């Protein structure tokens, strides 16, 4: 059978970069894909399915309650809405009109991010505190008032420098009876994080299902307080309202659950060992390479705990941007990681998404493309003489 992407004229990639939404997130395992066909064979009551899957996710993650969403972003939208309307069906029917409600969500300025629009989608108003250099405890304390619905916290290392620690945010917010919602979309591994933030006291935590868990890209889930999760059920699909567009199919719910069960079943030691073996494969192959010098970064791009390769191009042979573009042009294209901020001095090979059978191809293309680029550089310099 002709490959569907070939039929559509699309370029295919090997992902040695990260669980990027723009490139499809992660890769589902065969057992997860099989669950699609199985769950599509019959019809069920979607509310009953959501309840059953949520109960199982709560058990797996050691949380009070859970609810399946269309990605972590919808989890944030639903969680904020739940903090505003509680179990009041009339107020829910008014969303995103929040006039007269507790509708302010406190966010630290240093934690503003491209995904915080998920808060405003609910009808909530963002209230910034702090600056890009620091946030003081008194700023959070003083900003809480009768209009405060929640405090939002994004758990990511690149947003932590000028922010208050999550522990302190929870302490201050709870002293005033205000819930804290944590965006932990990409905070796996380690899998202990599935309950770590709620055990710290966070009221709701949102995770992506299509990253390290290797579920469908369009899934996510929220865990936390039972009363807030019950409110999310009232607001969310299949009910009408602001979350109607956030439909999760029965196939996606089952596939997410299957993926999560598999992810939970692997010990953290075995999981990290698998990732370490992929990293070691490249270290051994490139340790005496003339073009690249190799090191290991022990955390992911937003603070997750796993090893990835940090590779530098020796001398001034070519830039890492040139290499990244050249690798994408290969057949299949290969995605390699660049740092979150410029200037780019290194690039990354990430073992999280790349499967074992792809690592030889990535290594060979890395060496071949690097040699082509360095030869071109030498030729250009020779012609200028």
Do 251 and 105 share a structural domain? yes
Show which of 265, 299, 318 is a domain's final residue: 265
Reported as a single tens digit per residue, the pLDDT across 133-160 is 999 999 999 999 999 999 999 999 999 9
* pLDDT for the residue numbered 378: 61
* pLDDT for the residue numbered 341: 78
Do 283 and 251 share a structural domain? no
**What's the CA gap between 143 and 151, in Å, rounded?**
10
Tell me the CATH number at 82: 3.40.640.10
Do 88 and 59 share a structural domain? yes
**DSSP per-residue string spanning 64-80:** SEEEEESHHHHHHHHHH
Tokens, residue 365: 């293309």
Do 272 and 260 share a structural domain? no
Do 141 and 277 share a structural domain? no
Secondary structure element (H or E) that encloses residue 142, with its range: helix 137-143
* pLDDT for the residue numbered 349: 97
Do 130 and 246 share a structural domain? yes
Average pLDDT, the chain: 94
Do 86 and 14 share a structural domain? no
- Count the domains in the chain: 2
- Please list the ranges in the chain whose pLDDT falls under 70: 1-2, 377-385
Tell me the CATH number at 14: 3.90.1150.180
Do 123 and 242 share a structural domain? yes
**What's the CA gap between 225 and 82, in Å, rounded?**
11
Show which of 237, 265, 293 is a domain's final residue: 265
Do 222 and 360 share a structural domain? no
| Residue 33 counted as domain residue | no
| Residue 34 counted as domain residue | no
Secondary structure element (H or E) that encloses residue 281, with its range: helix 268-286
* pLDDT for the residue numbered 383: 58
| Residue 231 counted as domain residue | yes
* pLDDT for the residue numbered 380: 64
| Residue 168 counted as domain residue | yes
| Residue 196 counted as domain residue | yes
**What's the CA gap between 335 and 15, in Å, rounded?**
5
Do 301 and 230 share a structural domain? no
- Tell me, rounded to whole angstroms, the distance of Cα 129 from its chain centroid: 25
Do 161 and 218 share a structural domain? yes
Do 292 and 151 share a structural domain? no
**What's the CA gap between 173 and 200, in Å, rounded?**
13
* pLDDT for the residue numbered 136: 98
Show which of 248, 265, 282 is a domain's final residue: 265
**What's the CA gap between 143 and 158, in Å, rounded?**
24
Q: Are 72 and 79 in contact (CB under 8 A)?
A: no
Q: Are 193 and 140 in contact (CB under 8 A)?
A: no
Instruction: Give the domain extent around 300.
Output: 4-20+268-384
pTM: 0.94
| Residue 174 counted as domain residue | yes
* pLDDT for the residue numbered 384: 63
| Residue 257 counted as domain residue | yes
| Residue 26 counted as domain residue | no
Q: Are 51 and 204 in contact (CB under 8 A)?
A: no
């Amino acid at each position: 059978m002709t490959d569907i992407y070939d039929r559509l004229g699309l370029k295919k990639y090997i992902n040695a970069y990260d669980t990027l939404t723009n490139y499809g997130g992660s890769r589902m395992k065969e057992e997860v894909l099989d669950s699609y066909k199985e769950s599509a064979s019959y019809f069920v009551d979607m509310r009953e399915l959501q309840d059953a899957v949520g109960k199982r996710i709560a058990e797996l993650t050691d949380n009070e309650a859970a609810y399946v969403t269309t990605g972590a972003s919808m989890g944030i939208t639903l969680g904020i809405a739940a903090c505003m309307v509680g179990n009041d069906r009339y107020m829910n029917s008014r969303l995103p009109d929040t006039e007269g409600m507790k509708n302010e969500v406190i966010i630290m300025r240093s934690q503003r991010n491209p995904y915080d629009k998920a808060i405003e989608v609910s009808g909530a108003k963002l209230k910034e505190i702090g600056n890009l250099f620091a946030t003081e405890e008194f700023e959070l304390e003083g900003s809480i008032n009768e209009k405060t619905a929640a405090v939002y916290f994004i758990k990511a290392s690149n947003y932590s420098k000028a922010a208050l620690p999550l522990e302190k945010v929870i302490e201050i917010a709870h002293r005033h009876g205000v819930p804290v919602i944590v965006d932990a979309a990409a905070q796996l591994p380690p899998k202990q994080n599935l309950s770590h933030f709620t055990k710290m006291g966070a009221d709701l935590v949102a995770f992506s299902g299509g990253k390290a868990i290797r579920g469908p890209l369009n899934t996510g889930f929220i865990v936390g307080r039972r009363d807030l999760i019950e409110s999310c059920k009232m607001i969310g699909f299949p009910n009408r309202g602001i979350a109607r567009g956030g439909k999760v199919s029965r196939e996606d719910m089952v596939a997410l659950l299957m993926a999560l069960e598999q992810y939970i079943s692997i010990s953290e030691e075995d999981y990290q060992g698998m990732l370490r073996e992929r990293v070691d494969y490249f270290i051994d192959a490139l340790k005496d390479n003339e073009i690249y010098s190799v090191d290991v970064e022990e955390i992911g791009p937003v603070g997750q705990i796993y090893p990835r390769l940090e590779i530098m191009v020796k001398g001034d042979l070519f830039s890492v941007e040139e290499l990244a573009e050249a690798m994408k042009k290969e057949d299949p294209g290969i995605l390699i990681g660049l740092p979150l901020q410029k200037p780019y001095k290194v690039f990354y090979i990430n073992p999280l998404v790349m499967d074992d059978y792809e690592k030889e191809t990535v290594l060979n293309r890395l060496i071949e493309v690097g040699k082509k680029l360095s030869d071109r550089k030498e030729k250009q310099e020779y012609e200028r003489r």
